[in-house]
């Protein structure tokens, strides 16, 4: 703990610090941090930067909306390592074993007087919750998953949580319970994506990039790591580097009562508009579309009936993505957003919707916004009926208009990206998109079940855990 003399000395030094000095120091520490992370844990600096962008929001005056960002990646993808490095920052609360019921406990084995001492919600108030293992949120039976996300939907409003049980009656907390949340999970089951579509944009994801290196390069990389330094040493040096960066960041000379006053008048308006467009696309990609198979499979795609989509209002997603961009701006000494801050928003958007939908949207972008049935059948290796169904879904989501393309024989069905989303075809956007192309599978994911498998007719329901079942599966069972 710092002595009174040391505290006074720090305050004196901060008082003399000019903005130019601060920006120079911050840039220097940022370069040191990137070099340290990349030397110790290659290809993980961007994930660290994303975590810092979430954490830095807490330095901005006026932000009260919690942001939850979960890393996605296979085992041994350094998800836990990334979060442990971030947990070295001040005001973090790490929990390696977590259940949503811990936010406000109703344990029958604990007296009501002691419950306050074990409730998680007051412990994370104005802090960053870090949970390296979140599989419990996404697994289990349907009722448990629905209960968990129903609770999180309320807690992630930042206004506390109150619940009633027959054991302790009403318990909970109301008021300002703002926090940020960083977690990790291997993958999101398809049925949970549908549930997230119902609950709205409260949780966001970042899919860690796959390593596109040869076996020989991987062998050399592992050998270098084994010989040069132990894991603990690499982890500790990374923690030191991130603490040093944060120590400089909070020395910003124009902070008021420890908070950065945002200058929204200096925000780049085009960047803000693009963030809103990204939120609108994300809302469409996360939409739930109840789908019925109404008859035997045919080649026209007419054997499917679609009901009205359940689509989130993009205003909240716009706010969350804007705050993430603001957090990123803070890392570079700014109190306004610029186009550079889109670099953290785009990969989050493309990771925060079902992979098969994102890949379909990618195909549309790569074909300059126009995709016909034949192209989709060939690229994604699917039947005509399935291709027509997927194209119809994009139209129902509000991303495309249906059209016809003339051929030498007869017109074929095509889809065209709506005019309001033409920016997604620009080199400007494709630069951000292509930079993180490796974070998804090299070829398109399976978009739909094979014809005759995992599909449903009225009154028939496949098990809830089936992969890529029809969109209306849960709807049909209710």
Considering the domain 16-261, what is its CATH architecture?
3-Layer(aba) Sandwich (3.40)
For residue 412, the model assigns a pLDDT of 87
Strands 304-306 and 291-293 turn out to be antiparallel
Assign residue 371 a region (left: φ > 0; alpha: ψ between -120 and 50; beta: otherwise). beta
For residue 438, the model assigns a pLDDT of 42
CA distances for 77 relative to 55, 86, 185, 210, angstroms:
22, 16, 11, 9
Q: List the chain pLDDT tens, one digit each, 478 residues.
A: 556 555 545 554 555 789 999 999 999 999 999 999 999 998 899 999 999 999 999 999 999 999 999 999 988 889 999 999 999 999 999 999 888 888 988 776 667 777 778 889 999 999 999 999 888 888 777 888 888 888 888 899 999 998 887 666 788 899 999 999 999 999 888 878 877 776 666 899 999 987 666 778 778 777 776 766 688 999 999 999 999 999 999 999 999 999 999 999 999 999 999 999 999 999 889 888 766 665 555 444 455 566 677 777 888 899 999 999 999 999 999 999 999 999 999 999 999 998 888 888 988 998 999 998 888 888 878 888 888 888 888 888 889 999 888 777 778 889 999 999 999 999 888 888 776 654 444 344 444 443 333 333 333 223 223 232 333 333 333 3
C-alpha span between 256 and 214 (Å, rounded): 51
Strand partners, 181: 68, 129
Please check whether residue 308 is in contact with residue 317, taking contact to mean a CB–CB distance below 8 angstroms.
no
C-alpha span between 404 and 373 (Å, rounded): 10
C-alpha span between 360 and 389 (Å, rounded): 12
For residue 78, the model assigns a pLDDT of 92
Of 228, 356, 214, nearest to 285 by C-alpha is 356
Residue 265, token pair as written in the block:
């008048």
The segment(s) of the chain belonging to CATH 3.40.50 are 16-261
For residue 314, the model assigns a pLDDT of 87
For residue 13, the model assigns a pLDDT of 53
Verdict on whether the full-model pTM lies above 0.75: yes
Q: Which residues contact 475 (CB under 8 A, 6 or more apart)?
A: 290, 307
């Amino acid at each position: 703990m710092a002595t009174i003399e040391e505290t006074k000395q720090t305050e004196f030094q901060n008082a003399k610090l000019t903005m130019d000095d601060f920006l120079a120091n911050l840039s220097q520490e940022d370069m040191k941090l990137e070099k340290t992370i990349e030397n110790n844990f290659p290809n993980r600096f961007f994930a660290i930067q994303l975590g810092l962008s979430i954490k830095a929001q807490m330095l901005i005056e006026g932000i009260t909306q919690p942001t939850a960002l979960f890393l996605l990646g296979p085992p041994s993808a350094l998800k836990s390592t990334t979060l442990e490095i971030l947990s070295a920052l001040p005001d973090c609360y790490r929990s390696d074993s977590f259940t949503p019921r811990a936010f406000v406990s109703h344990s029958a084995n604990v007296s009501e007087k002691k419950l306050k001492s074990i409730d998680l919600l007051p412990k994370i108030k104005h802090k960053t919750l870090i949970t390296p293992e979140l599989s419990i949120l996404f697994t289990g039976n349907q009722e448990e998953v629905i209960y968990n996300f129903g609770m999180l939907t309320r807690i992630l409003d930042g206004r506390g949580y109150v619940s009633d049980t027959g054991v302790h009656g009403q318990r909970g907390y109301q008021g300002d319970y703002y926090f940020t949340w960083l977690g990790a999970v291997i993958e999101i089951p398809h049925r949970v994506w549908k549930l997230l579509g119902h609950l709205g944009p409260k949780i966001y994801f970042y899919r860690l990039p796959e390593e596109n290196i040869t076996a020989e390069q991987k062998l050399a990389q592992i050998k270098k790591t084994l010989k040069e330094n132990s894991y603990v040493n690499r982890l500790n040096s990374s923690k030191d580097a991130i603490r040093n960066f944060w120590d400089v960041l909070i020395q910003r000379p124009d902070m008021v009562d420890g908070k950065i006053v945002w200058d929204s008048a200096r925000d780049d308006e085009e960047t803000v508009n693009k963030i809103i467009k990204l939120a609108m696309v994300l809302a469409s990609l996360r939409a739930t579309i109840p789908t019925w198979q109404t008859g035997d499979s045919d080649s026209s795609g007419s054997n499917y009936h679609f009901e009205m989509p359940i689509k989130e209002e993009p205003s909240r997603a716009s706010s969350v993505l804007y705050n993430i961009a603001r957090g990123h701006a803070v890392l570079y000494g700014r109190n306004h957003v610029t186009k550079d801050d889109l670099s953290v928003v785009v990969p989050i958007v493309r990771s925060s919707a079902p992979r098969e939908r994102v890949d379909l949207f990618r195909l549309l972008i790569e074909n300059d916004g126009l995709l016909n049935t034949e192209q989709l059948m060939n690229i994604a290796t699917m039947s005509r009926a399935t291709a027509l169904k997927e194209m119809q879904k994009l139209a129902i989501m509000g991303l495309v208009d249906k059209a016809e393309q003339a051929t030498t024989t007869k017109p074929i069905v095509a889809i065209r990206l709506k005019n309001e989303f033409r920016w997604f075809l620009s080199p400007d956007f494709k630069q951000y998109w292509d930079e993180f192309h490796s974070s998804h599978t090299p070829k398109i994911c399976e978009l739909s079940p094979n014809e005759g498998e995992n599909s449903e007719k009225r009154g028939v329901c496949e098990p809830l855990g089936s992969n890529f079942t029809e969109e209306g599966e849960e709807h049909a069972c209710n």
